[in-house]
Amino acid sequence: MVHFIAGNKGEGKTKQLIQKANEQLKVTDGNLVFIDDDRRTTSDLHYNIRFIEAGRGRLANYREFSGFLLGILAMNSDIKTIYIDGLTNIISKLDAEDLVKLAARMKLFAEKNDVEFITCINWQVEELPPEVKELLI
């Protein structure tokens, strides 16, 4: 499954994502991964959640980010959920068309690897493409 949490900066998306990760850790039998553009959230995450700092704008486009995700999945077949915060900071160029393409790739990865993706994006809900709106939680 692929889910998105969207909204403006400061609306509590990151806090919600961290809470979901920490709660899921209590009931999951697999590994959880939390990807962020910086290390600010590490003190709030449980230490058993694998944290990966992706850096600000380090990946040029959704294709590079897709490869990044595939590399993570290839290294550990026990991953149950990948939480992604700061997506619009991690990828240098991410417009609405690319967001739809990324969501489609993530759906494919989720099906093939039995993994869930939950992603926070700084994007107004009204401006999201319909294909992404249907994935909102």
DSSP secondary structure string for all residues of 20-52:
HHHHHHTT-SSEEEEEESSSTTTTTS-TTSEEE
Q: 52 CB contacts (<8 Å, ≥6 apart)?
A: 33, 34, 35, 36, 72
- Reported as a single tens digit per residue, the pLDDT across 16-33 is 999 999 999 999 999 999
Cα–Cα dist 112/13, whole Å: 27
State the maximum Cα–Cα separation within the chain, in Å, rounded to a whole number.
Answer: 37
Indicate whether 64 pLDDT > 70: yes
Cα–Cα dist 124/14, whole Å: 15
- For residue 84, the cross-strand partners are 35, 119
Q: What is the mean pLDDT of residues 130-136?
A: 97
- Answer whether 17's CB lies under 8 Å from 117's CB: no
Q: What share of the chain in percent tops pLDDT 90? A: 88
- Reported as a single tens digit per residue, the pLDDT across 76-116 is 999 999 999 999 999 988 999 999 999 999 999 999 999 99
pTM > 0.75: yes or no:
yes
- Reported as a single tens digit per residue, the pLDDT across 105-130 is 999 999 999 999 999 999 999 999 99
Closest CA to 103 of 54, 95, 33, 60: 95
